[in-house]
Amino acid sequence: MSVLTVMPSGKTIDVAEGVTLLAALLGAEIGIPHKCEGQAKCGSCHIFVQEGRKGLSKIAREENERLDAIVGVGSKSRLACQAKVLGTENIKIELLGFGSGI
């Protein structure tokens, strides 16, 4: 189990091992775009991981290729639908755009 902190709201969610960030966010009724329903095809679930990157599954080729195609991607970027919580450390992410809940 890991604690996921969602910025900018600061809301925290307990996330079980093996759950994607997208599933955790949607399960907590936090709005995040996910146009392709988690297929790593749309890039709309792009988020920044501020802390706890090692507590997430590694970036696979599909995710990497999709991230490469997104403007504004940085070293902290992940696709929420592809990043699975490993349960080893707590994680802090930052939502972007319409999903930020501001």
Q: Which residues bind ligand FES (CB under 6 A)?
A: 34-36, 38-45, 66, 79, 81
Residue closer to ligand FES (CB basis): 13 or 79: 79
Nearer to ligand FES, 13 or 21 (CB): 21
Apex CA 18: angle with CA 24 and CA 16, to 5°? Answer: 55
Burial letters 33-48, b for 16+ CB under 10 A, else e: bbeeebebebbbbbbb
CB 16 → ligand FES: shortest distance, Å?
20
User: Considering the complex, what minimum distance in angstroms separates the CB of residue 32 from ligand FES?
Assistant: 8
